[in-house]
Amino acid sequence: LKFFAGASKTSGTPPYTAVVNVSPVDLTGKTLNQTLFLGTTPSQSGATVSATINSSTSITFVSNNANTDFTFIATYI
């Protein structure tokens, strides 16, 4: 298993996203909750953060609140 971690902040306008570049990690062929597992921790109470893989080198995070600071850790096979 390998892992990487980071932090970011979602935008202030809907849909409250943050695109995180994870290069040089190659996400080609990775599927969330199968070969790539993400744990996120938003700093604001009541905020949630979900993720999608949108390219081989970046992950898009989406929050239910604007300007949500969050940390994440990813484990992959």
Please classify residue 64 by burial: count the beta carbons closer than 10 Å to its beta carbon, then call 0-12 exposed, 13-18 middle and 19+ buried.
middle
Its pTM stands at: 0.94
Residues 6+ positions from 17 with CB-CB distance below 8 Å: 10, 11, 60, 61, 62, 63
Q: Which amino acid is at 55?
A: S
- The per-residue pLDDT for 60 is 98
Report the DSSP pairing between strands 58-63 and 17-21.
Answer: antiparallel
Give pLDDT tens digits for 30-75: 999 999 999 999 999 999 999 999 999 999 999 999 999 999 999 9
- The per-residue pLDDT for 15 is 96
- The per-residue pLDDT for 21 is 97
Q: Which two tokens stand for residue 65?
A: 């609140």
